[in-house]
Amino acid sequence: MKYRSLIIALVIVLTPFVIGITLFLARSSGRIPVKAHLSADTRENNGGITYKGIKVDWTFYPDWEYKPLFWRAEKYLVFMFHYTNTNAHDIVLMPSYVFVSPGNRRYSANEEISMYIEDDIERTLNVADQTPITFKLSPNAPKHYIVTFEKPHKLKQFYVDVDIWKDASLRIYYRKKDDKWENYKIKRVNKYVGRG
C-alpha cells in the first residue's frame, strides 16, 4: 500500500473513534454541567406504594436539562423508578410508562434521552439502570429504571401511569404549586383482566 493511501485509510478509520472519545471526554469532564434539581425521592419519606409484594418508589427531576450538541437545551421530566420485591420468590417485571397531560394528551417515554442522561443519573443516585424490556427481580435486591418524558410547554399538572401489575397500574399525580412540583395523589387503577 502506498504511503498516501495508508494515511487516507487511517484517517477514515480513526475519525469515528477520535470524534467519539473527544465528545465523551467533553461530556464526562463536567464542561457541559448537568442542570437538574431533585423534586422528590419517595424512598426518603416512605412515600412509595406496595402491592402484591412489589414496592415501587421513584425519584423525580421535573426539569432535567439536556443540551444537544448543535441545538438549544430543553428540559425533560425524568423519573427513576425503584422496584423492590418483598416476596420470598423471584418475579419478572415488564413495566411500561405513560405520561398524560391535561386534555388527556398521552406521551410515551423517550428512550433516547434516557440513554444519553443515563450515566449522569446513575452517578447522581449511585444506582444502575435496567435496559432490558423485561427483568428478574429477586427478593430485596432493588432494580431501577429511568423514564424520561418530553415536557410540554406551560405544563401545570400531569399524571404518569406505571403499568406494572397484571391487574392494576400505579397512577402518580403531580401539579405545580408556588413554582414547585407537588405529588398530590397516588392511586392504584384496577385493570379489567377478564375476557370479552
Partner 1 sequence: MFKRIVKNFGPEWGAAVMGTAALCITMQLSSEVARPFSPLLYIGLGFYLLAVVMFIAFFIPWTLRFFMYPEEIKKDLKNPIRGNFFPTIPISFILAGTGTNKLGPMLFGPSIAYHLSIVFFFLGTIGIFIFGFLLIREQFLNENIHLEHANFSWFIPPVSHLIIPVLGVCSMDVHWADTGLAPVLFIISMIALGVGSLNFLFVGAAIWHRYIYHTIPQGRLAPTIMVGIAPTAIIVIFLIKFVQAIEASHGTLFGINLISIFSLVKITASILWGFSFWWLILVAILLFTHYVKIKNHPLEFGWWAYTFPLEAFTVATGLLAQCVAIHFLQGMLLILNTLAAIVWIIVVFGTIKWLESGAFLNPKH
Contact residues for partner 1, defined by CB under 8 A? 1-2, 5-6, 8-9, 12-13, 15-21, 23-24, 27-28, 68-72, 74, 94, 96, 98, 106, 108-113, 115-116, 118-119, 122, 128, 131-135, 150, 161, 163
**Cβ nearer to partner 1, comparing 46 with 134:** 134
3-state secondary structure of 111: helix
Q: Which of 147, 135, 50 is nearest to 98 (CA)?
A: 147
* Least distance to partner 1, CB of residue 180, Å: 26
Output 74 or 182, the one with its CB closest to partner 1.
Answer: 74
Closer residue to partner 1, CB minimum distance, 44 or 111: 111
Give me the least distance between CB of 117 and partner 1, in Å please: 11
Q: Whose Cβ is closer to partner 1: residue 112's or residue 179's?
A: 112
Nearest distance from C-beta of residue 10 to partner 1, angstroms: 9
Smallest distance from partner 1 to CB 176, Å: 23
- The beta strands (E) that lie in the chain are given as 40-41, 49-51, 54-66, 74-85, 91-93, 96-101, 105-108, 135-137, 143-150, 157-163, 168-177, 180-190
Task: Find, among 120, 161, 134, 126, the residue nearest to 28 by Cα.
Answer: 120
| Burial status of residue 14 (CB atoms within 10 A of its CB: 0-12, 13-18, 19 or more) | exposed
